[in-house]
């Protein structure tokens, strides 16, 4: 007896209508792509131009490409001395390592604290839970600029170790310098404020992922003999991996690009790449070529990080766990 | 070998009390089924035994040892969940061996156990699959295998078949019965499906409204229900209830209703208190047989309203006065809707209940 499969025919009709789209739709797509990729393309082109060429016209495509800008930017890590430089003033390598340390450690700390806080807020019943859950997000609404002045004051004056004290003295003896040992100007000081800044949003994202983990999975693990920490690390954590990856991308990107707080809280040895870029602007000269080249270099790590982290985002992680 | 004893178990959620002093003794290797409608407290009872719900009052003894304050992992039991609760990020083998790996058993022992259990439930070819790539019945088997692998003395089942479609449920029920013959352990099984309860149980505990209504073997409960609730809950199609008054005619006690008058057997009549004037008459559809020559005192005249054809049998919804009665009839019997048929009542099929207390008389 022949069977009738209306579903199959409907599917074919859908694939047919796929290539009958309005041309305006494509025009819109092209415009959007141009807006997104255009600036990056311009930056890329101009990073290979001399400042003379850039001043002559940023959009010009006829020029003699040079890697001179990159040589200037990377002068402290190159194995040779570029001919056009008398003195290597830009310390890109150092700033790059500072950026990496600050962004990676603050991301890691945010995720570790964030996932535990989110789990507690979702699964445990305690007094003031809803208030805490709500206020965490409200903290995020405070603009970083508002934090800047009080944090600068605190980091410079309050969170200090006396230079005559045991630990402060030891640090001074090891690393040298004058005055008390303060949070200001250290990696830890910047990491701390980034963690505080990103934590509310990460908690908020992860809460929505943890809610989706079926409670019966945790109960099954408990009956199977898992303690509370084993339940968290062996069952919950693997299941919210997509959420962790999304939160990691978000946190890393913010920490990597952040300028305002870093500019106030870093010193000569701890400044990050965004601060370094701005140092190329002075009252006498704006070195556009070097700014473009450093900008290109700045863009690479987040791209690599995002590609790596987004591989963890697999939708439907909990598929097949429970039915109904 | 464990016996489980629930001693005056009470569960409260704030001011709401959902379990009112459950007293239950489960013997060694007994298959106990807790059955009842939704919200009757059966799942709560099971989860309290598992340690997933706190005990408000009373005590749970396993093997004479009070376990109320122990963690689930320290109670030595295995549980199959209603929604399977498989770990989606682990393959079938890892799901089965999760508990063993937590116990840090030797690798070889774990592998052997996984193979043995997978063989038992017929999953040997699927060990490398993730739960997402399995069908409902296979997931159910994984959940079963995971419980079996633990070597626990007590197995808890929380409505394990309720998510399967009807055909698969029947098949899994049979497999469960076969597994039951091989694995002689204490099993506590929660279901709302009275067919599962009847077919699997050594002992059925019928619950309603946070109270145990009756417990005993399936046969006891079916033949001698303690009250109207148990009588109506067990059996399919369910028992018919008819209001009747008791009248005495020529030394025979008769139950008289709007459109019937049937004799009550002498031994049942002897048990009735003399003050009893009205009763609820309970009759199972299976105790009513189509018989046009039956004597008046042992028969109902029923007008057919609806006939539901279910294969060899048809289920007829009939009218008897103002109440509806369900009866079963062989499908080949020629009948017409609206026709009045005579059904003979088997004397042992008469159940009488007190209209006020609803207790069996």
Residues A198 and A248 in one domain: yes
C-beta separation of A248 from A111 below 8 A: yes
Question: How much is the pTM?
Answer: 0.79
Tell me how far apart the alpha carbons of residues B3 and B29 are, in angstroms, rounded to a whole number.
8
Angle at B72 between CA B69 and CA B75, to 5 degrees: 80
Distances (CA, A) of A103 to A65, A248, A256, B244: 33, 10, 5, 83
- Please tell me if residue A235 touches chain B, with a CB cutoff of 8 Å: yes
Residues A262 and A183 in one domain: yes
Residues A69 and A98 in one domain: no
pLDDT at A16 over 60: no
- Please tell me if residue A321 touches chain B, with a CB cutoff of 8 Å: yes
* Tens of pLDDT, residues B214-231: 999 999 999 999 999 999
Contact A322 B103 (CB under 8 A): no
Residues A59 and A119 in one domain: no
Which residues make Cβ contacts (< 8 Å) with residue B67, sequence separation at least 6? B51, B60, B61, B74, B75
For chain B, the domains span 4-233, 240-291+298-353
| Partner residue opposite B98 with nearest CB, options A214, A224, A238 | A224
Residues A66 and A96 in one domain: no
* Tens of pLDDT, residues A257-291: 999 888 888 888 888 889 888 887 777 778 888 88
Give one DSSP letter per residue of A247-314, joined into a string.
HHHHHHHHHHH--HHHHHH--TTT--HHHHHHTTB-SS-B-HHHHHHHHHHHHHHHHHHHHHHHTT--
Contact B88 A318 (CB under 8 A): yes
Adjacent-strand bridge partners of B288:
B345
Residues A161 and A61 in one domain: no
Contact B139 A320 (CB under 8 A): yes
Tell me how far apart the alpha carbons of residues A184 and A171 are, in angstroms, rounded to a whole number.
15
Residues A99 and A17 in one domain: no
Q: Taking CA atoms, what residue in B is nearest to A224?
A: B99
Residues A122 and A32 in one domain: no
Question: Would you tell me which residues 30-89 of chain A have a C-beta closer than 8 angstroms to some C-beta of chain B?
Answer: none
Contact B88 A239 (CB under 8 A): yes
- Per the listing, tokens 């495509």 go with A61
Range of the domain at A44: 6-73
What sign for the dihedral angle of Cα A18, A19, A22, A27? positive
* Tens of pLDDT, residues B60-116: 999 889 998 999 988 889 999 988 899 998 999 999 999 999 999 999 999 999 999
Residues A100 and A63 in one domain: no
pLDDT > 70 in chain B, percent? 100
Q: Taking CA atoms, what residue in B is nearest to A240?
A: B89
CB < 8 Å to A316, chain B: 132
**A316 found inside a domain:** no
Which residues make Cβ contacts (< 8 Å) with residue A3, sequence separation at least 6? none
**A213 found inside a domain:** yes
Contact A223 B139 (CB under 8 A): no
**A86 found inside a domain:** no
* Tens of pLDDT, residues B232-270: 998 888 999 998 988 888 778 888 888 888 888 888 888
What is the dotted CATH code of the domain comprising B4-233?
A: 3.40.50.300
CB < 8 Å to B142, chain A: none
Contact B82 A224 (CB under 8 A): no
CB < 8 Å to A243, chain B: none
How many domains are contained in chain A?
A: 2
CB < 8 Å to B82, chain A: 216, 324
C-beta separation of B214 from B206 below 8 A: yes
ipTM at complex level: 0.83
**A321 found inside a domain:** no
- Which CATH number does the domain housing residue A264 bear? 1.10.3720.10
* Tens of pLDDT, residues B113-165: 999 999 888 888 999 999 888 888 899 899 999 998 988 889 999 998 888 88
Tell me how far apart the alpha carbons of residues B182 and B175 are, in angstroms, rounded to a whole number.
11
Residues A103 and A64 in one domain: no
Residues A58 and A100 in one domain: no
**A113 found inside a domain:** yes
Distance from the Cα of B89 to chain A's closest Cα (Å) equals 7
CB < 8 Å to A319, chain B: 88, 132
Residues A222 and A254 in one domain: yes
**A69 found inside a domain:** yes
Tell me how far apart the alpha carbons of residues B230 and B228 are, in angstroms, rounded to a whole number.
6
Label residue A17 by pLDDT band (50, 70, 90). Answer: low
Question: Would you tell me which residues 189-228 of chain A have a C-beta closer than 8 angstroms to some C-beta of chain B?
Answer: 214, 216-217, 219-227
């Amino acid at each position: 007896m022949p069977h009738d499969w209306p579903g199959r025919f409907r599917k074919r009709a859908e694939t047919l209508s796929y290539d009958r789209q309005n041309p305006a739709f494509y025009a819109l797509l092209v415009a959007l792509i141009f807006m997104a990729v255009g600036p990056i393309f311009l930056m890329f082109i101009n990073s290979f131009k001399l400042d003379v060429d850039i001043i002559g016209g940023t959009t010009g495509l006829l020029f003699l490409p040079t890697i001179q800008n990159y040589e200037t930017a990377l002068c402290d890590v190159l194995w040779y001395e570029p001919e056009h430089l008398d003195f290597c003033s830009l310390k890109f390598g150092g700033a790059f390592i500072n950026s990496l340390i600050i962004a990676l450690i603050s991301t890691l700390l945010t995720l570790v604290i964030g996932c535990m806080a989110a789990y507690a807020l979702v699964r445990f019943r305690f007094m003031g839970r809803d208030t805490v859950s709500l206020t965490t997000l409200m903290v995020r609404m405070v603009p970083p600029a508002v934090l800047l002045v009080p944090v600068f004051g605190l980091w410079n004056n309050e969170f200090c170790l006396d230079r005559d004290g045991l630990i402060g003295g030891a640090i001074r003896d090891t690393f040298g310098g004058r005055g008390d040992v303060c949070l200001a100007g250290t990696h830890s000081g910047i990491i701390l404020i980034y963690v505080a800044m990103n934590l509310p949003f990460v908690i908020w994202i992860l809460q929505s992922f943890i809610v989706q983990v079926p409670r019966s999975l945790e109960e099954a693990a408990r009956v199977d003999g898992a303690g509370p920490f084993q339940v968290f690390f062996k069952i919950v954590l693997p299941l919210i991996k997509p959420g962790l990856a999304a939160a990691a991308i978000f946190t890393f990107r913010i920490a990597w690009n952040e300028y305002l707080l870093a500019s106030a809280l870093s010193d000569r040895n701890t400044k990050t790449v965004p601060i370094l870029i701005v140092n190329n602007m002075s009252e006498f000269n704006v070195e556009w070529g070097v700014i473009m080249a450093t900008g290109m270099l700045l863009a690479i790590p987040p791209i690599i990080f995002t590609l790596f982290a987004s591989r963890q985002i697999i939708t439907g992680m909990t598929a097949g766990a429970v039915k109904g | 070998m464990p016996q489980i004893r629930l001693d005056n178990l009470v569960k409260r959620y704030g001011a709401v009390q959902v379990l009112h002093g459950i007293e239950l003794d489960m013997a060694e290797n007994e298959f106990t089924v807790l059955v009842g409608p939704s919200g009757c407290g059966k799942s709560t009872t099971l989860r309290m035994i598992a340690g997933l719900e706190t005990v408000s009052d009373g005590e749970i003894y396993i093997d004479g040892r009070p376990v109320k304050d122990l963690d689930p992992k320290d109670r030595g039991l295995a549980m199959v969940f209603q929604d399977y609760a498989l770990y989606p990020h682990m393959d079938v083998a890892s799901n089965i061996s999760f508990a063993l790996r937590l116990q840090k058993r030797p690798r070889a022992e774990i592998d052997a156990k996984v193979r043995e259990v997978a063989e038992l439930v017929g999953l040997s070819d699927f060990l490398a699959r993730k739960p997402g790539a399995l069908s409902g019945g296979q997931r159910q088997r994984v959940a079963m295998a995971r419980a079996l692998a633990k070597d626990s003395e007590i197995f808890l089942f929380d409505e394990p078949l309720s998510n399967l479609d009807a055909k698969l449920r029947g098949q899994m029920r049979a497999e469960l019965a076969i597994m039951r013959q091989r694995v002689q352990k204490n099993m506590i099984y929660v279901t709302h499906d009275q067919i599962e309860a009847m077919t699997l149980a050594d002992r059925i505990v019928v619950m309603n409204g946070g109270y145990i209504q009756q417990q005993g073997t399936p046969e006891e409960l079916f033949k001698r229900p303690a009250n109207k609730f148990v009588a109506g809950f067990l059996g399919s199609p369910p028992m018919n209830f008819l209001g009747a008054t008791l009248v005495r005619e020529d030394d025979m006690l008769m139950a008289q209703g709007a459109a019937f008058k049937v004799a009550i057997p002498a031994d049942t009549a002897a048990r009735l208190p003399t003050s009893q004037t009205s009763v609820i008459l309970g009759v199972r559809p299976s105790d009513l047989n189509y018989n046009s020559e039956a004597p008046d005192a042992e028969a109902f005249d029923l007008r057919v309203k609806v006939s539901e054809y279910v294969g060899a049998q048809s289920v007829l919804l009939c009218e008897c006065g103002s109440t509806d009665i369900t009866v079963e009839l062989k499908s080949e019997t020629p009948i017409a809707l609206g026709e009045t048929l005579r059904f003979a009542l088997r004397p042992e099929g008469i159940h009488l209940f007190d209209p006020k207390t609803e207790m069996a008389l």
